[in-house]
Structure 1
Amino acid sequence: MPIDGETNAKLEPALYVVATPIGNLADISERALDVLKRVDVVAAEDTRNTQSLLMQYGVKARLIAVHDHNETHAADGVVKLITEGKSVALVTDAGTPAISDPGARVVAAVHAASLKVVPIPGASAVVAAVSASGEGEGGFLFHGFLPTKTGDRKRALAALYPLGYPIVLYESPHRIVESMTDIAAVFGASREVVICREITKKFETIKRVLLADAVAWLESDSNQQRGEFVLVLTKPNQDAAIEAKTAEAATLERTLRILLAELPVKQAVAMAVQLTSEKKNTVYELALKIRDELSDV
């Protein structure tokens, strides 16, 4: 069905954020196809991939590239096109654009120019994975891709660890084992993860497993390391979360007592913040309390 009830009429000047399939070509909506046929320009993450996709549906379109290396220039170009009265569809390689995707900057630029943005909803790897995980009832946190280096990745995971929500991550096949190893190291063996691989594709896999067993499961079959991954870390057990918070507080206090025995408060606090990733104000307040306690001895 046409987006506005008219089959061939020119679309209103705007940015149309169009979701495309994440694997199964049948997952595109009639509304998305109508928009892609009628817009003046399609802004794509990879024009070759999008050209191939559009050909599957018999859609011919003028394509421009929007990717990590040109997003600022491309965003300006999209704003200019809409200002000139053109309609522009934004698509990504698969799924919903502007989510863990350079297209987000294009959308922000269009908003900043006070121009119209129209979402054309459809397939989303994040939503599909959460819906199949059983973890979506009380909300969830989408983080996207983790850093590529182990140290940076562990620091990012440590910042996510205290949060009381299911956490959704993206990961690529060549990093899935090492990332899962780091996730298990930070979140602990008893937390569960739902591994969603190749969603909507022929070899789709949805596997719920303890983090203690996740790496072994991946390594047991090299085929399970192929394709694109969405990982849903389950919500922490409440009792476990309380125990973890207590353990973190004890670790912070122990760390500060050791540092304050050798360093001034300012230096001890700075070092403790780096070691524990706790907030500076929290660390500083505890450091003053410990210092006062020690001075009374």
Structure 2
Amino acid sequence: MDSDKGVLYLIPTTLGDNEPLEVLPYSVKKVIEELTYFIVENEKTARKFIKRITPKKSQPSLQLFKLDKYADEMEVRTYLDECSKGVSIGLLSEAGVPAIADPGAEIVKMAHEKGIRVVPLVGPSSIILAMMASGFNGQNFSFNGYLPIETSERKKAIKQLERLSKEKNQSQIFIETPYRNEKMLADLKSTLTPGAKLCVACDITLPTEYIRTLEIKDWKHTKVDLHKRPVIFIIHKE
């Protein structure tokens, strides 16, 4: 790595509306205090988070580069130019940690290509926290992102994940758009075998946190409101 170049810091944020230093180490605050340039998904929420964790930091001095699905690819290629001048930049997650079920992997890849040092900072990952709390095999697990939207394709994917879990003793993790959580849970109950286990982890790190692991036959008699709440689903079949 070129010591004359700046550093790309991967900066985690909270998973919800809690105080940053309740779930983030003080080192994250210190890094943010030192930076002026940030790559962010949403400018408004990024500014709100920065103000909350470093209230005295000058908001007008911030230089924010937007990284979302509308970002111009050629423009994105210039986002790390300041690092080449010796200036460090922060890649700020919208929720949780950057580049894990979150935009930013391309920026990290670009940093490696340019010989820029990448420093990941400690923070909450809903995927890892849910896995920790599930009681499932933490030695072998897979994150599958979103399952298909169409019902028959989704049910097919659920059965495939159940087979993979049994064959490989591998916990299968996935997520859903919050307003479709209830439909997802209903499909899991109707598709998985009665003895398969399901962990539902909702509102992780928040006061409303709900984490429960049950066999499907027990989930069929359990009611929980998941509508418009961030949820991690994990399947395990022994």
Report the secondary structure of 2:80's partner residue: helix
Label 1:148 to 1:68 Cα distance change in 2 as closer, same or farther (>3 A): farther
**Amino acid of the residue matched to residue 102 of structure 1?**
P
Deviation (angstroms), 1:213: 4.6
TM-score, normalized by length of structure 2?
0.82
Higher-RCO chain (CA-CA 8 Å, sequence separation at least 6): 2
Q: Deviations over 1:54-80 (max 9, x none)?
A: 111214432221112227345312232
User: Counterpart in 1 of 2:15?
Assistant: 22
Report the secondary structure of 1:106's partner residue: helix
Label 1:100 to 1:40 Cα distance change in 2 as closer, same or farther (>3 A): same
Q: Deviations over 1:185-243 (max 9, x none)?
A: 553232111111101112111112223454663xx45x443410011212x21xxxxxx
Q: Is there any run of 5+ residues in structure 2 with no aligned partner, and where?
A: none
Q: Deviations over 1:94-126 (max 9, x none)?
A: 111101222112112222233221111211111
Report the secondary structure of 1:31's partner residue: helix
Deviation (angstroms), 1:177: 2.1
Q: Which runs of 4+ in 1 moved over 4 A?
A: none
**Amino acid of the residue matched to residue 227 of structure 1?**
R
User: Counterpart in 2 of 1:91?
Assistant: 92
TM-score, normalized by length of structure 1?
0.67
User: Counterpart in 2 of 1:178?
Assistant: 183
Deviation (angstroms), 1:12: 5.7
1:40 aligns with 2:33: no
Label 1:152 to 1:49 Cα distance change in 2 as closer, same or farther (>3 A): farther
User: Counterpart in 2 of 1:54?
Assistant: 50
User: 2: CA distance between counterparts of 1:208 and 1:12?
Assistant: 47
User: 2: CA distance between counterparts of 1:70 and 1:153?
Assistant: 30
Q: Deviations over 1:19-71 (max 9, x none)?
A: 12213321121111111111231111111111111111214432221112227
User: Counterpart in 1 of 2:202?
Assistant: 197
**Amino acid of the residue matched to residue 130 of structure 1?**
M
Label 1:117 to 1:192 Cα distance change in 2 as closer, same or farther (>3 A): same
Is the 8 Å Cα contact of residues 173 and 234 (structure 2) preserved in structure 1? yes
Is the 8 Å Cα contact of residues 17 and 90 (structure 1) preserved in structure 2? yes
User: As a proportion of its length, which structure holds more strand?
Assistant: 2
Label 1:21 to 1:72 Cα distance change in 2 as closer, same or farther (>3 A): same
Is the 8 Å Cα contact of residues 181 and 226 (structure 2) preserved in structure 1? no
User: Counterpart in 2 of 1:76?
Assistant: 77
Report the secondary structure of 2:187's partner residue: helix
User: 1: CA distance between counterparts of 2:130 and 2:144?
Assistant: 13
Deviation (angstroms), 1:154: 3.5
User: Counterpart in 2 of 1:269?
Assistant: none
Q: What RMSD in Å do the two structures reach over aligned CA positions?
A: 2.4
User: Counterpart in 2 of 1:262?
Assistant: none
Q: Deviations over 1:124-180 (max 9, x none)?
A: 111111111122443211222223333443444344333220111122321112222
% identity of equivalent residues: 23
Q: Is there any run of 5+ residues in structure 1 with no aligned partner, and where?
A: 1-10, 238-297
User: As a proportion of its length, which structure holds more helix?
Assistant: 1
User: 2: CA distance between counterparts of 1:142 and 1:162?
Assistant: 15
Is the 8 Å Cα contact of residues 142 and 173 (structure 2) preserved in structure 1? yes
Matches within 5 A, 1:114-129: 114-129=115-130
User: 2: CA distance between counterparts of 1:214 and 1:71?
Assistant: 45
User: 2: CA distance between counterparts of 1:12 and 1:37?
Assistant: 19
Is the 8 Å Cα contact of residues 19 and 120 (structure 1) preserved in structure 2? yes
Q: Which of 184-193 and 46-55 deviates more?
A: 184-193
Is the 8 Å Cα contact of residues 71 and 106 (structure 1) preserved in structure 2? no
User: 1: CA distance between counterparts of 2:105 and 2:78?
Assistant: 15
User: 1: CA distance between counterparts of 2:7 and 2:232?
Assistant: 31
Report the secondary structure of 1:128's partner residue: helix
